[in-house]
Chains A and B, each alone.
Chain A
Amino acid sequence: MSATATTYAGLDISSTTRPPMSRLLKVELRKMVDTRAGMWLMIAMGAITVVATTIFGLAGHDRDRTFANFMQFAGAPQGILLPVLGILLVTQEWSQRTAMVTFTLEPHRSRTLAAKVYAALLLGVAAFAIAVAVAVLATVVFGGTDPWREVGAIDFLKFGILQVTGILQGLAFGLLLLNSAAAVVLYFVLPTAFSILFNTVPALKDSAPWIDFGTAQGPLGDPGNLSGKEWAQLAITGTIWVIVPFLAGLWRMLRAEVK
């Protein structure tokens, strides 16, 4: 207790500064791994990446064992699990009710959310780097004939986009639902249901790449650059499936009563 605060009814806040973003980011990164669920999610991601790549390295055809394919295998587990981490990063504050403490220590909720987004992206970048490293290692050890063919900077960009949009979509769904189970289920079921619907109903099939995110993401896994039309489809479906839910979720989180 400072001397001034004890003698006056007013609070002397002149010497306090708000927690810098770097500190909030550190807190959010720590929250990802300081529970058993978070820690095991990380371990599982690492282990599955190594196992999947190894199996492909041992069992894959000689001409398939290229760096590009190894990267697909190394990236698949995190592509599925990183969004879950993004979801939990937001929803655990509500499910476990820690938001009561989090938002009391930093009443500007948008700053906490920004820290969460940065933390998720940082983790995505780290996971991307690890996946690339694992793929390089696997190519060196298991690589078939001419394993480095068809690799360009654009492939890394596409891979990165795929991972990052996955994480952001997870965060958006988490924000929108503020409930772990509901967000995880909806995150997996809704896009899949949409993909099935748009790819089986003939009348919808043509519009699928303009509305269904999964369809628009398809070319990201193919070799080479995307056409202008494909980039546009990616941008539009990304807006529908990531940006709009994120903004709606943000609006909800800023207003939600925390109890």
Chain B
Amino acid sequence: MITLEHVSKTYGGFTAVDDVSFTAKPGRVTGFLGPNGAGKSTSMRIMVGLTHADRGTATIGGHTYADIPNPGRHVGVLLDASAQHAGRTGREVLALSALTMGLAQSRVDEMLELVGLTETESKRRVRNYSLGMRQRLGIANALMADPSVLILDEPANGLDPAGIHWMRSLLRGYAERGGTVLLSSHLLHEVEMIADDMVLIGRGRIVAQGTKAELLQTSGTFVRAEHPQKLAAVLAEAGIKASPSGDRGFRTEAEPIEVGRVAASAGIVLVELKPAEGAGLEELFLELTADDARETVTTEGVQL
């Protein structure tokens, strides 16, 4: 179990992580989702003691990371697949970790096989690895001691679709055997596919957290009309609060039937009218991070 309590980290005047609290539970995959620069990586570095938090505590299974003896045996960590010595071979990278953790060198071959790096590839220097191969090497490094907690920062980055599928089933299996898996991503679909629980972060603050089912359960309506301005005006007149969403559409808390009636009585042609949850997690993600995202324009769609 990973627990963060009121963790904050400031760089000069910039608050990278702002009062972050959440828990990643055993037996579940927790997705840590947020736009680039939202504070995911900083939070993860704080968990393993590479960055010191200004305030708050981060514990893993009840211990501060530094208090775990031989932590690699308990916590598998992959924070940056590119953070490897370019001049070492992939095999050597794993061999050094195995040596540090006190594992048999036979684990190196087992891990190489598990992540699908061939004998020839393992003898090449990391300099010549693609990002996907580095990612596989990093995952091998994290899984080597069969830890009960996994902390992976953007593990799907650079993997091809087959690789992403492979990783998904690997992590799912890990959680099913009781492991705690925390993985970050800035891509919603990735997390949507694999996570049981989700923590959404934007500009250093947690904007939402819960089970995937909870977060997906939204009420309301998504509507799109031939003339968006007219629809906006009529909805406002009828006292229905609507906010722009997606491409010339609107989201509202009102039920589809109410929106349809208002539109019909005003003679407005609708192009789309559906319950909002049909829009999936993407809607939620964009909505929740709209205020916090760097590119507000993408969430607003066409400004009306």
Contact = CB atoms under 8 A, between A and B. Distances in A.
B83 to A, nearest CB: 4
Contacts of B27: 6
B96 A30 contact: yes
B190 interface: no
Given A16-B70, A19-B102, A92 B178 contact: no
A257 B50 contact: yes
A107 interface: yes
Contact of B61 (A9, A26, A34): A9
Contacts of B141: 101
Interface in B150-201: 177-179
B74 A16 contact: yes
B45 A258 contact: yes
Interface in B122-164: 125, 141, 146-149
B26 A9 contact: yes
B101 interface: yes
A101 B92 CA distance: 13
A11 B61 contact: yes
A61 B139 CA distance: 62
Given A6-B178, A11-B63, A258-B45, A27 B87 contact: no
A6 B177 CA distance: 7
Contacts of B26: 6, 8-9
Given A11-B61, A97-B83, A1 B178 contact: yes
A103 interface: yes
A10 B67 CA distance: 13
A35 B51 contact: no
A98 interface: yes
A98 B70 contact: no
A257 B51 contact: yes
What is the interface residue range for chain B against chain A? 35 or more
A18 interface: yes
B142 to A, nearest CB: 9
Contacts of B73: 16
B71 interface: yes
Contact of A259 (B50, B97, B146): B50
B69 interface: yes
A95 B68 CA distance: 27
Interface string A96-107: 111011111111
A255 B25 CA distance: 30
Nearest to B49: A107
A37 interface: yes
23 contacts: A1-B178, A6-B27, A6-B179, A9-B1, A11-B62, A11-B74, A19-B101, A23-B99, A23-B100, A35-B88, A36-B87, A96-B85, A101-B84, A101-B93, A104-B50, A104-B77, A104-B79, A105-B100, A107-B66, A257-B50, A258-B50, A259-B41, A259-B50
Given A105-B100, A258-B51, 14 more contacts: A1-B147, A5-B74, A6-B26, A7-B178, A10-B1, A10-B62, A16-B70, A16-B73, A18-B69, A23-B100, A96-B86, A97-B80, A107-B66, A108-B66
